[in-house]
Amino acid sequence: MNFVSSKNTRFFSSIPFMIPIRVLILAFCIGFSFTKCNFQKASAPLPFPVSNDIVSQSSHHLEWIKVKETVWIHKSYGEFGGQTYSANGLVIVTNKGVVVVDTPWSESQTEELFAWIQSKFQKEILYLIVTHAHDDRMAGTPLFQKRNIPIFSTSLTAKLAKEKGFGKTNPILDIQTRLGAGNQWVEVFYPGHGHSADNIVVWLPDTHILFGGCLIKSLEANDLGNTKEANREEWENSVKRVLSRYPDAEVVIPGHGDWGKLDLLRHTIRLLVSPDN
Ligand SMILES: [Zn+2]
């Protein structure tokens, strides 16, 4: 199947790979064991008891949040340092099947995703888009591979995913790519470095929903989370590019935490320019 309808332009060759020294120092100080994304500490009631004890991944269960009839958030949970955090991905329902954006944070929750899609929609999964090479976006990719579901990413994410052992993706996405999905369109946009070098956002033109992924922080986030691979100088510019590209977004969904409107982008910029972060 050929899902790509737009022309792609080469751009990754021009990505600056210089990372400011202070980012490296900060990353070293806070993140030697961090492999997760920009966490949002779970604040909503959890479907399992939470304590300071390590809770095994298998006790985490996927949750569903309806944004529109055709767009759902799959909310999964992961552990870091004895704490539980949530992560958002998307399921887009079309007349031909569903599109998944990012996998849940574990394989067991990815099995729940498959079961739920089957029971609720009785539709096949057309393809998976991963928005960057971190495990809260890609932990379930082996299960998609097992089912022969196409996994799309940018070439940079494909390269980083391979290096990190997250599996193989098909690098068909470029700086801007529109994918057909039954009666809907799914657009991805690479705005530049931010939370990671490869973070992309997903735009749904039919419903005016913007999935910001880990580039965008929720309003309840007080800090930037894990900045181990972040480029703070470029991050602000990247958010501004998204803001000017999608000014008519009605719903903005961050990688972690509650969804809202475009003020999530302005909040992210505030966090970036704050001397406390
Ligand atoms: Zn991340």
226 labelled catalytic: yes
The reply to whether 28 falls in a domain is no
Residues 212 and 230: their CA atoms lie apart, in Å, by 15
DSSP for residue 4: B
Q: What pLDDT score was predicted for residue 27?
A: 46
The mean pLDDT of 203-232, rounded to a whole number, is: 95
Which tops the pLDDT comparison, 21 or 101? 101
- Active-site residue, selected from the candidate residues 193, 195, 256, 267: 195
The reply to whether 15 falls in a domain is no
- Cα separation values, 37 from 137, 146, 198, Å: 8, 25, 13
| Ligand 1 centroid distance, CA of 37 (Å) | 3
| Ligand 1 centroid distance, CA of 130 (Å) | 11
Q: What pLDDT score was predicted for residue 272?
A: 96
Please state which of the ranges 43-57, 75-89, 131-145 shows the lowest mean pLDDT: 43-57
Q: What pLDDT score was predicted for residue 3?
A: 55
Compute the mean pLDDT over every residue in the chain, rounded to the nearest whole number: 85
Q: What pLDDT score was predicted for residue 277?
A: 75
| Ligand 1 centroid distance, CA of 132 (Å) | 6
Number of domains in the chain: 1
Chain segment 49-86, per-residue pLDDT in tens: 333 334 444 568 999 999 999 999 999 999 876 788 89
Look at residue 33 and tell me whether its pLDDT is greater than 80. no
74 labelled catalytic: no
- Active-site residue, selected from the candidate residues 60, 134, 193, 267: 134
| Ligand 1 centroid distance, CA of 82 (Å) | 19
The reply to whether 2 falls in a domain is no
Look at residue 234 and tell me whether its pLDDT is greater than 90. yes
pLDDT band for position 226 (cuts 50, 70, 90): confident
| Ligand 1 centroid distance, CA of 134 (Å) | 5
- Active-site residue, selected from the candidate residues 60, 88, 102, 132: 132
Question: Torsion over CA of 9, 92, 208 and 8, rounded to 10 degrees?
Answer: 10
Which tops the pLDDT comparison, 198 or 22? 198
| Ligand 1 centroid distance, CA of 95 (Å) | 31
| Ligand 1 centroid distance, CA of 196 (Å) | 6
Domain of residue 219 covers 37-43+58-273
| Ligand 1 centroid distance, CA of 133 (Å) | 7
The reply to whether 237 falls in a domain is yes
The reply to whether 174 falls in a domain is yes
Q: Is 264 helix (H, G, I), strand (E, B) or coil?
A: helix
The reply to whether 16 falls in a domain is no
What is the gyration radius of the CA atoms in the chain, in angstroms? 17
> Hey, how many other C-beta atoms are within 10 angstroms of the C-beta on 274?
11
- Active-site residue, selected from the candidate residues 38, 88, 199, 226: 226
Please state which of the ranges 4-18, 105-119, 254-268 shows the lowest mean pLDDT: 4-18
Q: What pLDDT score was predicted for residue 84?
A: 87
The mean pLDDT of 161-179, rounded to a whole number, is: 96
Q: What pLDDT score was predicted for residue 267?
A: 98
Q: What pLDDT score was predicted for residue 81?
A: 67
- Active-site residue, selected from the candidate residues 60, 88, 135, 136: 136
The reply to whether 148 falls in a domain is yes
Question: How is residue 203 written in tokens?
Answer: 């735009």
Residue for token digits 């574990």? 106
| CATH number for the domain harbouring residue 240 | 3.60.15.10
The reply to whether 135 falls in a domain is yes
134 labelled catalytic: yes
The mean pLDDT of 220-230, rounded to a whole number, is: 91
